[in-house]
Every structure is written in structure tokens, then in C-alpha cells.
Amino acid sequence: MTENSHKMTKLAPRVVVLAYDGLCTFEFGVAVEIFGLPRPEMGDNWYQFAVAAVDDGELRATGGVRIMTDGSLALLEQADMIIVPGWRGIDSPVPSTLCEALQRAHQRGCRVLSICSGVFVLAAAGLLAEKRATTHWRYTEALQQRFPNIRVVEDVLYVADDTVLTSAGSAAGIDLCLHVVRLDYGLEAANLVARRLVIQPHRDGAQKQHIEQPVARSRESQRLGMLYDFLYQHLAESHSVRQLAERVGMSERTFLRRFQVATGKTPARWLLDERLQLAQQHLANGRENMEKVAEISGFGNAKNLRLRFQQHLDISPLAYRKKFTATNN
């Protein structure tokens, strides 16, 4: 595929990242690096980016950095996605003006994303009630105790529940942001961004924050990385454990163990989750009929697609599409 084939044709999503006094610079930098840098290789429709101030006056970030912003919370009114970096402290109150601005954005269908302790901002705004969410392992217990109506998912990298997305510690924020790029622009675009960052593009959201036994040799890690890329490009096909093990040059037993350690899932569950995400993306775009979506995403037929959606997402594919259609109109 030529470089020109990566050019974007969709309207550029407007991304607004929050800045505040006491800003967590790493998490803020993640948002800037992935969504705020010029990327001419992606064409003219890459993300539009702005920084919105939560507080009045001078904003000081960790490390003695001073922050200049593009505007106030009014910028959130036109955002397609809002990013909340790690909050200045889980015990620090969240301003009511910020909560109200996030509520309005969420109600009109804006995607809202948090990194690390930024989840406490979304929780304070009421955006996570009865939703699945995660955060850094140090904060999961506090999050669950303070907000018992949140379905806290422990020891995963990130969770996407409808238009609200949450991630664990700092590096997991990179994984979540790359996941968003993959949803918006496809696998190859996400891989290009990851290569510029010199990181692997394929860490799945359900991978554990704590890896009890890391992949033993870099050669095995590289082979699994190539396998993930292969599977992303062939989700519509059937894959047996034997075939996958042969592709990476491992015995079936070793492959299953290494795959589970690396992703926190069996190959079958990993494939199911990725196919569900792909189906959600096509349903949200609203162009293909149900049979075509089922075929593209690897479910074979519309009946199986409906079954899997009901079992794992508790919603029908048609209802999911209507939800997004209503949001975008």
C-alpha cells in the first residue's frame, strides 16, 4: 500500500484535552503526541486538537512546567472527543463547572476518554454510572468504594463502554489512544502512529496491568506481535489453535500459555472481542447491512452476530446501530 493510500477522507474529529493547575504532564503528553502532532502522511483530515483550561489563571504542571491553553471549557461544546489526563489527586474535588461541561458533551454523544486517575473526574460527573471502567491498580479499590454504581474492571489496560473510555496507568493511556486511532482510521493508521512512537501497536485492552510471567524471549514477543497484526487483518477468517501455533513456531501448549500471559485471554476470547469491536465500528458507520457486517467481522451470518451481541454486549446489533445513528444526527 502506498503512502497516499493512508490519506484520510473523513471529517477531522475535534479532540480537546483538559489542562488544570497541577497537571500530570506524562498523561497530557500522551494526548498531545497521538492526537496533537501534525501528521502530513495522514492527509488533511487528521485530528483537530485543542487544550482547554479547567482553572482560571496560571496553570502549573508537574516538573515546574507552565501551561498555555487554547481556551476555556467552552471548547468542550464543539469537541468530538474529550481527554481527561490523570487528575491532580483522587482526593481533589472536581469543579462543578467541569462536571456540567462533561455531562453536556456526553449527552450529545461526544466520546470521553480518561487516562489513569482521570477516571475520578468522569465518575464525579456521573458519566460512569452502571458502566464498566478501569484505572491504575493503585486506585481501583478507592474508585469502587467511592462510586459503588461503577462496574470497576481490575487489572486490565483499558475499557471502552459505549462512548466512555477509561485506561489504567500512564502507558495504558497510549494503548487506549491507539485503540481510538484504530477505530477512527483503521489498523494501518494506528500502526503508523505506533511506529513513530517506537512502540508495539497491538496491546489489547484486556491485557493485564500485572504480567506475572513475561514472555521469556524477545524472539517470541516479536513472533506474537506479528501474529496479532496478522489476526487483525484476517478477523473474518477462521483460525484454529494448531494453525496459530504453527504460524509462530510453537507447540500448541506453549502457544496457549504465551498467548494467555501476553493478553490475559485465550485465543478464542481474544478473537471474539476483536470481532465484536470490528462489528461495532461497522455498525456505527451505518453503511453495510447486517449480513455484510457479520461477514466482515468474522461472525459468518447475521443470526450469529445477533447472538454474540446479546450474549456479550447485552444489546442487539440493530439497537446498537440505531443508538449511534441517533447520536450522530
Q: Which CATH architecture has domain 3-187?
A: 3-Layer(aba) Sandwich (3.40)
Q: What is the pLDDT of residue 2?
A: 35
* Residue spans per domain, the chain: 3-187, 269-328
Residue 186 DSSP class: -
Task: Quick: pLDDT tens for 169-182.
Answer: 778 899 899 989 98
Write out residues in the chain with pLDDT < 70, as ranges: 1-10, 200-222, 285-286, 324-329
109 Cβ contact list (under 8 Å, min separation 6): 163, 327, 328
- Tell the burial category of 187 from Cβ atoms under 10 Å away from its Cβ (0-12, 13-18, 19+): middle
Whether residue 45 contacts residue 31, with contact meaning beta carbons closer than 8 Å, is answered with no
Which position among 24, 110, 116, 177 bears the catalytic label? 116
> Is 99 marked active-site?
no
Q: What is the pLDDT of residue 10?
A: 58
Residue 4 DSSP class: G
Q: Cell for 136?
A: 491504575
CATH number belonging to domain 269-328 = 1.10.10.60
271 Cβ contact list (under 8 Å, min separation 6): 231, 235, 239, 298
Task: Quick: pLDDT tens for 225-253.
Answer: 788 878 888 999 999 999 999 999 999 99
Q: What is the pLDDT of residue 211?
A: 43
Size (the chain), residues: 329
231 Cβ contact list (under 8 Å, min separation 6): 239, 270, 271, 274
